[in-house]
A and B are shown apart, each in its own frame.
Chain A
């Protein structure tokens, strides 16, 4: 439907990752860190009804009206990649209802290591792992781990309890990602939350400056050569490739 006024196009930021790695919690953290300075919206994807949307609404980090749930018909993977219709409609409706929005966060339904967002739906994506899922997961690679715009290793405060060496896990991830950014995060570690905040702001600046080009981490093999990709995607975009854990 053509609107008389086209709403401002927000930065659409996808949050993917396996079940239980802390995607909803990460979104709540982003909202808490940025709701004061940015106009945010959230779309959640659930397999069953709207559990994640309700969690986020109850977290009180954002006006509940700005958090909407999309049902994915038992196919969380399909809804963010192969057929993004419902999600795209929800994002555009949210942008129209709360125009102007700066950032819309789209949370995927928890799926497996292969689920990533289509560039038709989001401009940039984070992939979330957690230390409790095992220190070796980052080594396994896959499209999300290898090529998402940011890989988050979450719940680092739990590392001592689950016997995971965070530095090693981050080093593995950096290697699997051939230098793309990795952020070791704990919502109770303010410094790491600030790094996440800075990354979102830098991505927003790149989006507005037209220097960020949405990446499709999907169909390619998890192993590739950095210069080999440059002819298909201009990855040399403006946002800084900061590595918080060298």
Chain B
């Protein structure tokens, strides 16, 4: 529950999950539900799978094997996250979560090699889940919820409407992920991470990173 709270001090409030760029590009308010659903089965699916795999590695690898195994997982994640902006913000948010985790679960996140970029958020989240005893299906639902809530919280600032309608959108989005929870939670081999690309979503993430006078960084 702590991890799912948007008030968690991990620096995530700067992201709209590219909703701002999408709205500026003409996405209508009544299409936001569709945007959320499409995210769930594409980019969010990759993120949730990455988190599950990081959790699995943390629970099964010998300590000296963990760092190289995580590096291999990161490579699989990066290969399925083609947008530069998307990879960059995911690492920034991962570093924010890592800062929090270093205080709450000391030692849960192995340090990266000198000069290496910060770990992406789903990897950090998976490591936290392992340390905190969060089961894999709950971890998938957490990623799903977090993705949808990030978009909807931003929507209330960008196109203010009835906040209760926003809460309904989050529920619907989480329902879209539900059929995938079982298969994602069962993942054990990084090579089998789903490659569910979403060029439009990645494009909006790229556009967001260069958007003038934006409210959100991502």
Residues of A within 8 A of B (CB): 1-4, 47-49, 71-75, 78-79, 82-86, 88-89
A86: chain B residues at CB < 8 Å are 11, 14, 96
- With A49-B212, A71-B214, A89-B11 given, name 15 new contacts (CB 8 A): A1-B95, A1-B114, A3-B114, A49-B213, A73-B215, A73-B216, A75-B13, A83-B9, A83-B13, A85-B11, A85-B96, A85-B99, A86-B11, A86-B14, A89-B96
Measured between beta carbons, the chain B residues less than 8 angstroms from A71 are 14, 214, 216-217
Cβ–Cβ < 8 Å partners of B15 in chain A: 73
Residue in A closest to B216 when the chains form the complex, CB atoms: A73
22 contacts between A and B (CB under 8 A): A1-B112, A1-B116, A47-B215, A48-B213, A48-B214, A49-B212, A71-B214, A71-B216, A71-B217, A73-B14, A73-B15, A73-B16, A73-B215, A75-B13, A78-B13, A82-B7, A83-B8, A83-B11, A85-B9, A89-B11, A89-B95, A89-B99
Please tell me if B187 contacts chain A, counting CB pairs below 8 Å.
no
Across the interface, B118 reaches (CB within 8 A) one of A1, A2, A72, A79, namely A1
> Chain B: interface residue count, which band?
20 to 34
Q: Tell me what chain A mostly uses at the interface: helix, strand, loop, or mixed.
A: loop
Residues of A within 8 A of B112 (CB): 1
Once bound together, how far apart are the Cα atoms of A84 and B111, in whole Å? 21
Q: Are A2 and B111 in contact (CB under 8 A)?
A: yes
Q: Please, how many angstroms separate the alpha-carbon atoms of A225 and B162 in the complex?
A: 43
Q: Complex Cα distance A2/B106, Å? A: 13
Please give the distance in Å from B111's CB to the nearest CB on chain A.
5
Q: Are A48 and B96 in contact (CB under 8 A)?
A: no
Chain B residues, CB < 8 A from A82: 7, 9
Contact of A74 among B9, B11, B212, B215 (CB under 8 A): B215
CB 8 Å contact bits of B182-218 with A (1 = contact, 0 = none) = 0000000000000000000000000000001111110
Complex interface bits, B92-124 against A, C-beta within 8 A gives 1, otherwise 0: 000110011000000000011010101000000
Complexed CA–CA distance, A53 and B35 (Å) = 34
How many angstroms from the CA of A73 to the CA of B96 in the assembled complex? 15
| Min CB–CB distance A227 → chain B (angstroms) | 32
